[in-house]
Chain A
């Protein structure tokens, strides 16, 4: 066994530093000085923090590292996360071939052409929420009035979930993703959401439509619990992430007028700009977690079977050996090698949709609101540090 020097371990999650967009300084130090470094988790257990781009891709692309939390030694980032990962896990917490069986039932819905065909519909949704927001006098909270409703309505439409119920599932999604939620709170939120979707699925069995939940029900080879688990994963992953990314990207651009002006002058930069913002902001602040099921070497460090690994996407995306001047936001660079969506077989299923939503939301915001600005001093903003997905709590803006 590798003996881990107790003094060396970074406490996870580490605190962020002065820049709201940068990873915690302790992780950045690890990237420079000890790229595979021990961390101490909330319950005192240990795991390895992997910080370099090359090493993160190596772990995420290697079957010796399992995403299945039922394996001994799996690193849980909170008590609630353990509950979610172990009890009736969805395919995000499975390995192939089990994982691939479920994932492939959904990949057809997220092929590039099919997602691209949603462009007019997503544009209409974006314009609609922006119309509503600007119909009243500024200021407005961009998070509540724009960034969250857009992806929420889009994923509801794809799944066939009534958008009117958004308060119900948004509240519970947040409990699932929050670090300080107790196991009991997570269990209750998950059971309520599953119950909600199972009821919906029951109705779709009698009145089928063309949406995802209905089609999963109609397959006939999935249990109701499996349908609920897959739908729930899409529902939760489908709106919190894009919502936080939209608001935080807006803030990053407002804080960097030069980059904002470049985008305003040349809207064709938007696709590349979204990749760069994904890299620069790396909002999945918890990283991605795996456990070694065989002994493996990562960046010169031996990781024994049964040891946990946390792949830090945010530091990998600021690895100077891959991205020049990594701490600078540069909407003109080619950032496509980023790992903000992960890497390997679990790489984000919804990425084409997330890209489409972000491109349209940001392009439209910049084009339609040339006077967009913060409505409060930047020091007053509060950030979401205690949850899987980083973001800003509220973003009061004027225009």
Chain B
């Protein structure tokens, strides 16, 4: 799985961080998403899919491989 984020679409809701803190973080200044792990291990993948599904800015893309 490859994850990518689009900071321009992010509205700093923090939902991705709440769902998978191992993969997503937020900038200290304005809360915009930071990607910690672009290739998450198997056990986090379903949580990453959840995060992508609830992201209010549709800023998270997931490429299954």
Interface residues of A (CB under 8 A from B): 60-61, 100, 103-104, 107-108, 110-113, 115, 334, 336-337, 341-348, 351-352, 355
A250 to chain B, nearest CB (A): 23
The reply to whether the CB of B28 lies closer than 8 angstroms to some CB of chain A is yes
Chain B contributes a number of interface residues (CB within 8 A of A) equal to 22
Provide the residues of chain B in CB contact with A337, threshold 8 Å.
Answer: 53-54
What 6 A-B pairs come out closest when comparing CB atoms?
A107-B12, A107-B31, A347-B56, A111-B31, A112-B14, A111-B26
> Does B26 contact A104, Cβ atoms closer than 8 Å?
no
Looking at chain B's contact residues, the main secondary structure is loop
B18 within 8 A of A: yes
Q: Would you give the shortest CB distance from B53 to chain A, in whole angstroms?
A: 7
Please, which residues of chain B bring their CB within 8 A of the CB of A347?
Answer: 11, 13, 56
B 31-46 to A, binary, CB cutoff 8 A, 1 in contact else 0: 1100000000000000
Complex Cα spacing A57 to B62, Å? 19
Query: Nearest chain-B residue to A336 (Cβ)?
Result: B54
The binding surface of chain A is classed by DSSP as: helix
Q: Which of A108, A110, A112, A344 contacts B56 (CB 8 A)?
A: A344
Min CB distance, A310 to chain B, in Å?
Answer: 19
B13 near A104 with CB under 8 A, answer: no
Q: Collect the chain B residues with CB atoms within 8 Å of residue A345's CB.
A: 11, 56-57
How far is A104 from B12 in the complex, measured between Cα atoms in Å? 8
Instruction: Name the distance in Å between A347's Cβ and chain B's nearest Cβ.
Output: 4
In whole angstroms, how far apart are the Cα atoms of A100 and B30 in the complex? 11
The verdict on B5 contacting chain A, using a C-beta distance below 8 Å, is: no
Residues of B within 8 A of A113 (CB): 17, 26
Interface residues of B, Cβ cutoff 8 Å to A: 11-15, 17-19, 21, 26-32, 50, 53-54, 56-58
**A285 CB, min distance to chain B CBs, angstroms:** 20
Closest Cβ of chain B to A322, distance in Å, is 10
- A108 and B31 form a contact (CB under 8 A): yes
A107 CB contacts on chain B under 8 angstroms: 11-12, 30-32
Whole-angstrom distance from the CB of B2 to the nearest CB of chain A? 23
- Chain B min CB distance to A15 (Å): 31
Supposing A336-B50, A352-B14 touch, asked if A110 and B57 sit within 8 A by C-beta, the answer is: no
Residues of B within 8 A of A336 (CB): 15, 19, 50, 54
Asked whether, in the complex, the Cβ of A61 is within 8 Å of the Cβ of B58, the reply is yes
Query: Nearest Cβ in chain A — how far from B52, in angstroms?
Result: 12
Q: Within the assembled complex, what's the spacing in Å between the Cα atoms of A110 and B30?
A: 9
Give CA–CA (A84, B41) in the complex, Å.
49
Cα A107 to Cα B15 in complex, Å, equals: 13
Q: In the assembled complex, how far is the CB of residue B34 from the closest CB belonging to chain A, in whole angstroms? A: 11
Q: Which residues of B contact A108 (CB under 8 A)?
A: 27-31
Chain A residue nearest in CB terms to B16: A112
Q: A61-B58, A113-B26, A336-B50 are in contact. Are A351 and B31 (CB under 8 A)?
A: no
Q: How far does the alpha carbon of A287 sit from the alpha carbon of B58 in the complex, in Å?
A: 21
Contact, CB under 8 Å: A343 / B31:
no
Measured CA separation A347–B15 after assembly (Å): 11
Of the A-B pairs whose beta carbons lie under 8 Å apart in the complex, a sample of 17, sorted by A's number, is A103-B12, A104-B12, A104-B30, A107-B11, A107-B31, A108-B28, A110-B31, A111-B31, A112-B17, A112-B18, A112-B26, A334-B50, A336-B50, A337-B54, A345-B56, A348-B13, A351-B13
Query: What residues on A are CB-neighbors of B56 within 8 Å?
Result: 60-61, 342-345, 347
Q: How far is the CB of A204 from chain B (nearest CB, A)?
A: 21
Which residues of B have CB within 8 Å of A342? 56
Beta-carbon contact of B53 and A111 below 8 Å: no
Give min CB distance, B26 to chain A, whole Å.
Answer: 4
Residues of A within 8 A of B54 (CB): 336-337
A105's closest neighbor in chain B, by CB?
B30
